[in-house]
Amino acid sequence: MHFFDIITPMKEKYFLLAGTAVLGAVTSFAAIRAVTPMAWDGNPNCWQMKRHNEKMAAVANGGAKVVFIGDSITHFWENAGKSQWKKYFADGKYKALNLGTSADRTEHVLWRITEGRELDGYEAKVVLLMIGTNNTGHYPFEKEPPIDTILGVKEILRVISEKQPKARTILTAIFPRGATADSPLRVRNNVVNKELAKFADGKKIIWCDFSDKFLDANGRLSRDLFPDLLHPDAMGYEIWASAVLPLIERVFAAEEGETIPSVWPSSPTMYCYGGSVASQPQSGFPSFCWWGRGRPLEKRNEIVDGPAEYDVVMVGDSITHRWEREGGEGRELFQKLKKTYSILNLGYGGDRTEHVIWRMENGELEGYKAKMFAVMIGTNNHGRDIDGIAAGVKRIVDDIRTKHPESKIVLMPIFPRGAAADDPKRLGNEKVNAIIKGYADGETIRWLDFNERFFNAEGKLTKEVMNDLLHPNEKGYEIWWQAMGPVVREIVGH
């Protein structure tokens, strides 16, 4: 099975666009904007639509073997990069096609390559994609968190694979913007780039990041190369061409199935951090396949489609996830509870503290209010780096407090694991619990410890409540709700 085939289909809705004779009668899309095909302002006479029609005339001529897709940075191969385009790409075996449109975001590119059919009717060898800076640059963080932009690019890659099954995609890192390394929009784009790099498999998708070629040793972007600190000048396009031409040649010469290595910065410091891993943001989605399993999109859709305020938001790992997961031991009880309470479950199987931090800081705290957050995380850190794990829990609590000052936080200890009291992982969890208990103030952050309820009369953890001595079974989830229910009723008010 190809890894694109495992992607959970987008949740469908239907929306009638203006100018349907040109734009198509309906557009099927998921809830978040970044993965929703959108034809600009819906005006069939807008300049973007005129450019689209011009590009469709070029598509009809056929023969394009190299296709560039993107926004104004790609569009401007026809302006600041005009001489480089003519020199390297326009003629000969490439017959390159520029499908860049100024101000485009992922949703616009999706419209162009689905309903707009800009990839139909010809067979390319290489598609070069760079998109996303307008997603992060045109909307404030709370309206376009990094997770949405990443999901938008992922969906574009899926459609490219569908429309051009024989082509390889050179996925290019979003170019640096802003003068310094700490420029807010550059930081947001760097978060996106770090995840996009995981999509490369060397066969269908090749990662290409040469951002360091635009920057000095301190990460400063020069106006000599980027006059507006966003768009390259002619020399910037020369650098771009010199970076991608060897990859294009590799693709043209490659045998079917041959792996082509990605291009990385010579000093990719933007992807590094110091200190404890457990207390630093790190995505728990290690590859395209993990992103493609659908839970990140599912959760962002649920948030966008959900109520303005939730009664309860649950934050955690698989122990929390199994409250609602198909076949999960807590699912039946969870469905009953959802008839009384509006609940958002932000549990992800396998997550550690650093993964939850990434999710909390890159999209999953945006777009709603909550009366209460229930937090339990840390068992997948396996009791290593006790202080770091505790610091990770503290950062999660602080993130929630910052984004949701209106909410109460119910902080729970990491659940016991392993049958014996001297199980090393259980002992590690207990050391973390002893520290994080001190984060509760009894008012805005409440400590709820009911771990003893999972033990039998001899003080042992048994399969009667946790079949694998880690995840609660149906009886275990009943114990959880018996302990948490009164707190929920007090805070929520019913």
Quick check: 351 and 396 in contact, CB under 8 A?
no
Q: Which of 2, 228, 468, 494 is catalytic?
A: 468
Is there a catalytic annotation at residue 398?
no
Give the residue from 247, 292, 237, 240 showing the smallest Cα distance to 127.
247
Place of tokens 């114990």: 479
- Phi first, then psi: give them for residue 386, nearest 5 degrees: -55, -50
Angle at which helices 106-113 and 146-163 pack, to 10 degrees?
Answer: 20
Catalytic residue among 318, 342, 382, 423: 318
Is-catalytic flag, 471? Answer: yes
Residue 339 burial (C-beta neighbours within 10 Å; 0-12, 13-18, 19+): exposed
Cβ neighbours for 494, distance < 8 A, ≥ 6 positions apart: 340
Whether the CB-CB separation of 351 and 316 falls below 8 Å is answered with yes
**Whether residue 212 lies in the annotated active site:** no
Q: Which residue, among 92, 164, 100, has the nearest Cα to 129 in the 3D structure? A: 100
Contact 292/6 with Cβ under 8 angstroms? yes
> DSSP string of 108-120?
HHHHHHTTT-TT-
| Residue 243: other Cβ atoms inside 10 A | 17
The residues carrying an active-site annotation are 318, 468, 471
